[in-house]
Amino acid sequence: MMAARATPGRLIDRLPRVRGRYRENADLARVTWFRVGGDAEILFRPADAGDLAAFLKARPADVQITVIGVGSNLLVRDGGVPGVVIRLGREFANIAARGTEISAGAGALDFTIAKASAAAGIEGLEFLAGIPGTLGGALRMNGGAYGREIKDVVIFADALAPDGTRHRLAPDALGFSYRRGTTPEGWIFTGARLKGARGEPQVIKRRIAEIQAARAATQPVRSRTGGSTFRNPGGAAGEPKAWQLIDRAGCRGLRRGGARVSDQHCNFLINDGAATAADIEGLGEEVRRRVKEATGVTLEWEIRRIGTMAQIGAKTGPAETAAPAGDGP
């Protein structure tokens, strides 16, 4: 159903009627894994792909659009996000197996897709259990883990252009490279079909369990974090990984306000409970500065940062002393 209309002068009064829901001043900190950040001016949860397409066709051209999933690899700045934030939720989380292929909506959790493939006896998609977030995010950044990437398994992806027209994109059109794709930023993925191979369900389930255990042993999975903070430079085998460069620069355990670099895996930033988005982003930039100074490498953010800085926010002091360098990630 469509949310109730507000008084004249608000953005919500300029938006087209929809079958989904609009919400004004929606608290985005509640839906991000970091649990920080400001509000969305308008949060829109479309009823389905048709509802989203109709919205895109009818929306005012000057309204800024931002798309989010479950908020895993995302940092929302403290000033909030102007315009309309589109959240693809359970309405886009359908998963269906047929033969050795899986069709899934962009809102489906990567881990849930991996479990569904195991139940259907489809192997080759276990790596998705190691990627936090949704299929839409994995399609946007060619998500990967444990030696495989989305580009290795995608048959096609469905997307909506900014004008609401529907497109089916073959692998070549997606332009995948290490943690990147060439699909224009304004396009919205709505789903994809993935390929696997016939396998034994119990064997596939064991592999997923191994991946989950490896994540728990090496990553702060129970902390308020956003996953890997920086891309591995180059991404090629044998090149130093981001965590190794961060450790070499002495940043393990580094703190700023309520944010710190994880002692368990130093390519993860953690909200210790009282961090602001400015603390987290400022700490990340300090890590980038120190890594550049120590190694000559400029790290690139893997975490997506959206929104505006707060006009008046909590004061954040200089980064504090880091822990000694360790032997693990």
Looking at domain 92-216, its CATH architecture is 2-Layer Sandwich (3.30)
How far apart CA 34 and CA 242 sit, in angstroms, is 20
Lowest mean pLDDT among 117-131, 230-244, 293-307: 230-244
Residue 236: pLDDT band with limits 50, 70, 90: low
Write out the CATH class of domain 224-306: alpha beta
SS3 state of residue 166 = strand
Q: Are strands 304-306 and 255-256 parallel, antiparallel or unpaired?
A: unpaired
Alpha-helical segments (H) within the chain? 49-58, 110-119, 135-141, 171-174, 201-218, 242-248, 277-295
Selecting among 35, 179, 193, 304, the annotated active-site residue is 179
Active site residue 228: yes
Q: Residues spanned by CATH 3.30.43.10 within the chain? A: 11-87
Alpha-helical segments (H) within 182-322? 201-218, 242-248, 277-295
Angle at which helices 201-218 and 110-119 cross, to 10°: 150
What is the sign, positive or negative, of the torsion defined by CA atoms of 315, 319, 321, 325? Answer: positive
SS3 state of residue 301 = strand
Q: What is the pLDDT of residues 157-195, one digit of tens each?
A: 999 999 999 999 999 999 999 888 999 989 999 999 999
Active site residue 260: no
**Selecting from 3.30.43.10, 3.30.365.10, 3.90.45.10, 3.30.470.10, what CATH number does the domain 11-87 have?**
3.30.43.10
CB atoms within 10 A of CB 239: 12
Instruction: Compute the average pLDDT of residues 43-57.
Output: 98
Active site residue 179: yes
Selecting among 72, 103, 117, 228, the annotated active-site residue is 228
Structure tokens at 122: 């489809």
What is the pLDDT of the chain when averaged over all its residues? 92
